Amino acid sequence: MKDALPAADPGVPDHRTPGRYLWWLARTQAGPLLRGIGWGVVWMAALALIPLAIGRAIDAGVAARDTGALLAWSAVLLGLFGLQAAAGAMRHRRAVFCWLAAAYRTTQVVTRQAARLGATLSRRISTGEVVSVGVTDVSHIGDALDIVIRGTSSVVVIVAVIGLMLATDPGPGLVVLAGVPVVLLVAAPLLGPYRRHTRRLRELVGDLNTRATDIVAGLRVLRGVGGEDLFAARYRDQSQRVRRAGVDVARAESMLAGAEVLLPGLLTVAVVWLGARSALAGAMSPGELVTVYGYAVFLVLPMATLGEAADKLTKGHVAASRVVALLALDPEPDGEGTREPARPADLVDPLSGLVVRHGRLTALAAASAADARAIADRLGRYTEADKAGDVDVTYGGVPLRDLARLRERIIVAVNEDVLLSGPLADTLSCGDPGRDLDAAIAAASAEDIVAAVGRDAHVVEAGREFSGGQQQRLRLARALAADPEVLVLVEPTSAVDAHTEARIAERLRRARAGRTTLVCTTSPLMLDRAEHVVFVEDGVVVAEGAHRDLLDAEPRYAAAVTRNEDADRVSGTA
């Protein structure tokens, strides 16, 4: 095959919309795609001409008792079968190539984007979503490019067959000419529900894959009564939501598939009935009746192909929407400035109104976890405060984009951070022997873990030998050992039991004395031990004060931090 699969550089994708992305894929392989369409037209045209050859053989050979004419049209018929077989093979080869090229090129651009995003990827998109893009979505995008060949061929041949039918008998030809648009218009409303249900299923599958990757990663302990049983129940509930969404998709797809068969079938019945009436009236020869009947039966194939095209293009569009969402992500802002902050240095986020005072342990409770995460990302300059750059987080009066040694001064620790493989002591100290591991391990209440395995124990990839709660405490110890000027912790105790959490909350305040610390959490235990609590709703600070005062004075705050109070009484397996 002359065509070559995608090279090392897949090109720059147009990811403004899903449709533009699919069009970009089509343009990048225009040659193979056009050749596939050409072979597809020849393949379907050969099939369409078979009824004409049979009708001529009947009229010129059988009815006229002309053996020569019968042999000649038989030879034509044999040639059409041969042409159809050869063209079908070439069309299929080009279709498979286009499928592979689209799927692999999508894999290339997604992989390149993942490498470009680096650590930003895990902060902005779930692991399950990435798995779904790399496994399911690339397949649907390949299907979309594959069906373009047969779908375009079907449109061309339908027009040609209608012309042949009009030439044979205007009556049936006019019925087909009017009936094809009617069939398509009647089937069109079925695409809307199908697309909605398909999109919903795709989202739920991505969420379920995220839960599955958590299982593989060893996340066995969740906050809440029931521990592993609770996790299994939630996974089962999510699975049932996926099943119900799949049933909705199957129901919509069955309606679409039924329309693909029923509507062309009704059109075929109408054409054959008109043809039979013309033949009985003497306006049509037996061979022409066979030809019209053959055309009507043949039209079921290209019209069913159009229904299949609607199905695959819908799935391809949904898949492309997930791909372009990933491609639209921007990596963390790079580069750092040279300006030193004024002392004492407060961390200020103008967008939310949050002020993290120097030397304090501040807690941020948000009505929405997404709001807390967005603020934490801005405080660490993992995302820009705004695209125009007019508003920026400041530290000691210096915008973060201009701050010297930003990554040393401000550390944002989240639960998606990975424990690197290697000796445990090196993992916690990040290779810096000067860091005080004893104090950090004690503050994170991780002494039992270190005592059980030893500081020289080898940590496997991502710390998979540890439970979820153990991983969380080790990540906290690593963040504390770095001893930055500002430490931002996002839900640092969400996977530990209440007793361990109480110890961490008490020790964290002492360990970070004189340093600036922000804990994003809705845990009453952590909030009660913070020096200052800030409540955020809809991305904006709406209340500040001590935890107990806010419980009495702000009902929204009370609702946010007490709605999962039962979940604080966990089984203690962390």
Per-residue pLDDT reduced to its tens digit, 284-333: 777 777 877 787 778 778 877 887 888 888 888 888 988 998 888 877 66
Q: Is 539 left (phi over 0), alpha (psi -120 to 50) or beta?
A: left
Q: How would residue 123 be classed by pLDDT, with cut points 50, 70 and 90? A: low
- Mutual orientation of helices 228-280 and 170-187 as an angle, nearest 10°? 160
Q: Is 34 exposed, middle or buried (0-12, 13-18, 19+ CB in 10 A)?
A: middle
Bigger pLDDT: 498 or 487? 487
Tell me the three state secondary structure of residue 282. Answer: coil
How many Cα neighbours within 13 Å face the side chain of 169?
A: 29
Out of 125-139, 153-167, 530-544, which region has the weakest mean confidence (pLDDT)? Answer: 125-139
How many CB atoms within 10 Å of residue 178? 12
Per-residue pLDDT tens digits for 171-224: 666 776 676 677 667 666 766 777 677 777 766 776 666 666 555 554 444 443
Q: Which of 327, 360, 393 is the last residue of a domain?
A: 327
Is the model's pLDDT at 92 over the cut of 60? Answer: yes
Same domain, 228 and 357: no
Same domain, 359 and 321: no
Same domain, 248 and 393: no
Domain assignment present for 76: yes
Tell me the three state secondary structure of residue 394. Answer: strand
Per DSSP bridges, beta strands 516-520 and 486-490 are parallel
Mean predicted confidence (pLDDT) in 452-470: 82
Domain assignment present for 574: no
pLDDT at 225: 37
Q: Is 18 left (phi over 0), alpha (psi -120 to 50) or beta?
A: alpha
Domain assignment present for 459: yes
Domain assignment present for 573: no
Q: Are 499 and 522 in contact (CB under 8 A)?
A: no
Output the CA–CA distances (angstroms, integers) from residue 269 to 257, 263, 266, 293, 311, in the order listed. Answer: 19, 10, 5, 9, 25
pLDDT at 573: 38
Same domain, 564 and 427: yes
Q: Dig out the tokens for 290 from the structure.
A: 């066979």
Q: Which of 327, 360, 386 is the last residue of a domain?
A: 327
Tell me the three state secondary structure of residue 349. Answer: strand
Task: In whole angstroms, give the CA distance from residue 176 to residue 193.
Answer: 28
Per DSSP bridges, beta strands 347-349 and 394-395 are antiparallel
Task: In whole angstroms, give the CA distance from residue 571 to residue 226.
Answer: 7
Same domain, 388 and 263: no
CATH code (residue 358)? 3.40.50.300
Q: Report the mean per-residue pLDDT for the chain.
A: 82
Task: In whole angstroms, give the CA distance from residue 427 to residue 424.
Answer: 5
Task: In whole angstroms, give the CA distance from residue 365 to residue 567.
Answer: 16
Is the model's pLDDT at 33 over the cut of 80? Answer: yes
**Phi then psi dihedrals of residue 487, to 5 deg:** -120, 120
Per-residue pLDDT tens digits for 401-413: 899 988 889 999 9
Same domain, 312 and 435: no
CATH code (residue 276)? 1.20.1560.10
Quickly tell me which residue has 């987080």 as its tokens: 393
Same domain, 411 and 323: no
Closest CA to 267 of 306, 300, 244: 300
Q: How many helices and strands, by DSSP H and E, does the chain display?
A: 20, 12
Same domain, 38 and 91: yes
Is the model's pLDDT at 458 over the cut of 90? Answer: no
Domain assignment present for 341: no
Domain assignment present for 368: yes
Task: In whole angstroms, give the CA distance from residue 146 to residue 300.
Answer: 20
Same domain, 236 and 145: yes
Q: Are 98 and 2 in contact (CB under 8 A)?
A: no
Task: In whole angstroms, give the CA distance from residue 368 to residue 365.
Answer: 9
Task: In whole angstroms, give the CA distance from residue 412 to residue 430.
Answer: 15
Distance of CA 84 to the CA centre of its chain: 39
Same domain, 313 and 369: no
**Domain tally, the chain:** 2
CA angle 250/96/91 to nearest 5° reads 105
- What single letter denotes the amino acid at residue 287? G
Same domain, 317 and 354: no
Same domain, 156 and 59: yes
How many Cα neighbours within 13 Å face the side chain of 337?
A: 12
Domain assignment present for 111: yes
Domain extent for 392 = 347-568
Closest CA to 459 of 478, 445, 443: 478
Share above pLDDT 90 across residues of the chain, in percent, rounded to a whole number: 33
Q: Which of 260, 294, 327 is the last residue of a domain?
A: 327
Out of 4-13, 339-348, 372-381, which region has the weakest mean confidence (pLDDT)? Answer: 4-13
Domain assignment present for 339: no
Mean predicted confidence (pLDDT) in 533-547: 94
- What single letter denotes the amino acid at residue 64? A
